[in-house]
């Protein structure tokens, strides 16, 4: 009986994940999916790689940093975007009033976004190889896939935290874009973290993308010694953010019910 309940829960979780993934990422309009997951990251990679090339640096460094960042951003935006769309559709109140806790609903709905980041990575890597000479000769594919998946899901943890801001009346577009921009500047995407002032380096090391990206860079350099440690830190940070997000979700959900701020943005 207990086993059946667990299977039912898992089935519902999976079903929600698939429906939300298809709806959010425009599977009903493949053109939108292509723009969001392929063209947009590609142009960002081009911009930063050319910027690096103008400074006489290796554009492959920029291509790799932005490829990983672009891929993992899906995890960050997934949960918050689902929340944003529920509010726009006028269904956030109904979802909140349902028997399942809001946090569980949104975690289920953002579950596949992290996995989908691999599509963006694949396209970005093709671009990196063809235009900027990204070198795969030293790459250990197993570790690379693990590092990318862990980074993407760690970003989902941050996404859950970001999504909670929407429940207390803060514009979700605002927090998502602030988080997105902070990651570009602070996580070693376009220049090493060590180039930042010491105080910002501390902030950088507490963000989920930093260690995952460092692991990916090590994998490309063929230096696997520190990779498991970096991946473990990344996974730990992701779980920490997800746990903080889950707790805050429960608290803010309660506050939004009490204050009546659920649909007030």
Query: Which CB, 52 or 114, lies closer to another protein?
Result: 52
Contact 76, 162 (CB under 8 A): yes
Residue placing its CB nearer to another protein in the complex, 107 or 214: 214
User: Could you tell me the smallest distance in angstroms from the CB atom of residue 265 to another protein?
Assistant: 9
Least Cβ distance, residue 170 to another protein (angstroms): 8
Compose the 136-175 pattern: x for residues touching another protein by CB under 8 A, - for all others. Answer: -----------------------------------x-xx-
Cβ at position 250, least distance to another protein in Å: 25
Q: Which of 79, 233 has the CB closer to another protein? A: 79
Nearest-angstrom CA–CA distance, 159 and 126? 27
Question: For residue 148, how many C-alpha atoms fall within 13 Å in the half-sphere facing its CB?
Answer: 28
Measured CA to CA in angstroms, residue 265 lies from 49, 170, 171, 178 at distances of 37, 7, 6, 17
Residue 174 C-beta: closest distance to another protein, Å: 4
Neighbouring residues of 253: CB distance < 8 A, sequence distance ≥ 6: 96, 101, 102, 103, 167
For the CB of residue 225, give the shortest distance to another protein in the complex, in Å: 27
Do 77 and 24 contact (CB within 8 A), yes or no? no
Asked if 70 and 156 touch (Cβ cutoff 8 Å), the reply is: no
Total binding residues toward another protein, as defined by CB under 8 A:
32
| DSSP run (H or E) holding 88 | helix 59-89
State yes or no: residue 90 binds another protein (CB under 8 A).
Answer: no
The contact mask relative to another protein for 20-59 (x = CB under 8 A, - = no) is: ------x--x-xx--xx--xx--xx-xxx-xxxxxxxx--
Least distance CB 35 / another protein (angstroms): 5
Q: Phi and psi of 58, rounded to 5°?
A: -75, 115
Q: Which CB sits closer to another protein, 52 or 75?
A: 52
User: Per CB under 8 A, which of residues 168..207 are in contact with another protein?
Assistant: 171, 173-174, 177-178, 181, 184-185, 190-191, 195
What contacts 87, CB < 8 A, 6 or more positions away? 166, 172, 263, 265
Shortest distance (Å) from residue 45 CB to another protein: 9
Q: List the one residue out of 244, 103, 83 whose CA is nearest residue 172.
A: 83
- Residues in contact with another protein by the rule CB under 8 A: 26, 29, 31-32, 35-36, 39-40, 43-44, 46-48, 50-57, 171, 173-174, 177-178, 181, 184-185, 190-191, 195
């Amino acid at each position: 009986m207990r086993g059946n309940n667990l299977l039912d829960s898992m089935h519902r979780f999976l079903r929600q994940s698939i429906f939300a993934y298809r709806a959010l990422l425009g599977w009903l309009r493949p053109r939108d999916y292509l723009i969001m997951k392929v063209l947009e990251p590609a142009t960002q990679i081009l911009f930063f790689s050319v910027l690096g090339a103008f400074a006489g640096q290796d554009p492959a460094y920029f291509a790799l940093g932005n490829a990983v960042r672009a891929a993992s951003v899906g995890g960050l935006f997934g949960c918050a975007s689902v929340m944003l769309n529920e509010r726009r559709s006028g269904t956030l109140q109904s979802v909140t009033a349902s028997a399942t806790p809001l946090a569980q609903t949104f975690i289920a709905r953002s579950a596949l976004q992290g996995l989908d980041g691999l599509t963006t990575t694949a396209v970005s890597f093709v671009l990196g190889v063809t235009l900027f000479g990204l070198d795969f000769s030293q790459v250990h594919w197993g570790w690379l896939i693990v590092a990318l998946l862990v980074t993407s899901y760690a970003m989902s943890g941050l996404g859950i935290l970001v999504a909670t801001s929407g429940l207390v009346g803060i514009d979700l577009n605002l927090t998502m874009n602030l988080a997105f921009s902070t990651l570009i500047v602070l996580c070693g995407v376009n220049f090493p973290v060590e180039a930042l002032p010491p105080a910002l380096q501390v902030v950088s090391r507490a963000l989920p993308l930093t260690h995952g990206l460092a692991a990916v860079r090590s994998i490309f350099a063929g230096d696997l010694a520190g990779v498991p440690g970096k991946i473990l830190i990344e996974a730990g940070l992701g779980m920490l953010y997800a746990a903080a997000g889950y707790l805050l979700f429960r608290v803010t959900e309660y506050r939004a019910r009490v204050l009546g701020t659920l649909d007030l943005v």
